[in-house]
Amino acid sequence: MRVFLSSDIEGCAGICDWDQVRIGASEFALGRELLAGEVNAAIDGAVEGGAEHVLVNDAHSTMHNLHPGELHHSASYLSGAHKPLYMMEGLDGSYDAVFMVAYHGSIGADRAILSHTYNPRAIWEVRLNGEPVGESALNALVALHHAVPVVLITGDETTAAEARPFMPDVEAVVVKRSITRFAAESVHPDRARELIRAGARAAVRRAAAVPAPAIELPATLQITFLTADMAEMATWIRGVERAGARTVTVTGAEPLALYRTFTTIVALTRSIPSG
């Protein structure tokens, strides 16, 4: 049993502000500690459930948010920037299960703490086959390519709700309730860890029965940006078509290619100022 764990941070219990999630920011030490606790709880649960190998792919911002020495000793740690497959780098067909830990809601969600979809300075909305999606469903394209089920997701209620249409059998561990984009009611960090550990254990035990993500192919991504210039720039990539002043679409039968087109758009549009 091999588990691939993609860790974000905004979905951790207790986190409610950008200052807690950006390296160098005033409260980052707290954010890092909360994240490490939840990632390690997920690994503990995975090992109890029968996992022999866990790869942690640090998927937030500059992607070196964890102190390597504080990470569970049975996991390996994939960290650092410019990874070809970004939040899903390291996943391949040798894995049996995907965990998404400390994930968060999409930029357009009604109540979602620190909501964004990859880049809040560029992306206004993403739809997958017509449904507004967050990072979970986008990242699930990579899991689908490798036919690996997403068995665990942790975060707020919105994170769980956004994952379910595409991962109906996912074990969703809710550790906080978002009130606004900058306010949430969280369980105590110790309680969050207990819940995640139990969820991870149960998820690994039934992983063999969980299907790969339910994303109909060929699939269409529709991306709306903050400005028209960003949409124009996205069409420089082959296969991306303008669907409106600020909107583009791309359709494909190959989920990995779609994901790579999306992450290329994210990288490209970073070069355009948002204001």
Instruction: Provide the binding-site residues for Zn ion, judged by CB under 5 A.
Output: 8, 135
Q: Are 252 and 219 in contact (CB under 8 A)?
A: yes
Q: Please, what is the minimum distance in Å from the beta carbon of residue 114 to Zn ion?
A: 8
Residue with Cβ nearer Zn ion (123 or 151): 123
Q: Give me the residue whose beta carbon is nearest to Zn ion.
A: 8
Residue with Cβ nearer Zn ion (77 or 118): 118
Gap between the Cα atoms of 138 and 169, Å rounded: 17
Q: Please, what is the minimum distance in Å from the beta carbon of residue 116 to Zn ion?
A: 6
Q: Please, what is the minimum distance in Å from the beta carbon of residue 135 to Zn ion?
A: 5
Residue with Cβ nearer Zn ion (89 or 135): 135
Residue with Cβ nearer Zn ion (8 or 38): 8
Report strand pairing: 219-225 vs 241-242. Answer: unpaired
Mark residue 185 as left, alpha or beta (left: phi above 0; alpha: psi -120 to 50; beta: remaining): beta
Identify residue 164 by its one-letter amino acid code. R
* Element (DSSP H or E) covering residue 203: helix 189-205
Residue with Cβ nearer Zn ion (2 or 22): 22
Q: Please, what is the minimum distance in Å from the beta carbon of residue 242 to Zn ion?
A: 27
Q: Are 4 and 10 in contact (CB under 8 A)?
A: no
Residue with Cβ nearer Zn ion (42 or 204): 42
Q: Please, what is the minimum distance in Å from the beta carbon of residue 201 to Zn ion?
A: 25
Token digits of residue 53: 């190998």
203, with CB counted inside 10 A (0-12, 13-18, 19+), is: buried
Within 8 A by CB and 6+ apart from 273, the residues are none
Q: Please, what is the minimum distance in Å from the beta carbon of residue 225 to Zn ion?
A: 17
Query: Which parts of 108-175 fold into alpha helices (H)?
Result: 135-145, 157-163
Q: Please, what is the minimum distance in Å from the beta carbon of residue 13 to Zn ion?
A: 16
Tell the residue number behind the tokens 């948010």, with chain if given.
65
Residue with Cβ nearer Zn ion (142 or 207): 142
Gap between the Cα atoms of 114 and 272, Å rounded: 22
55 bridge partner residues: 4, 76
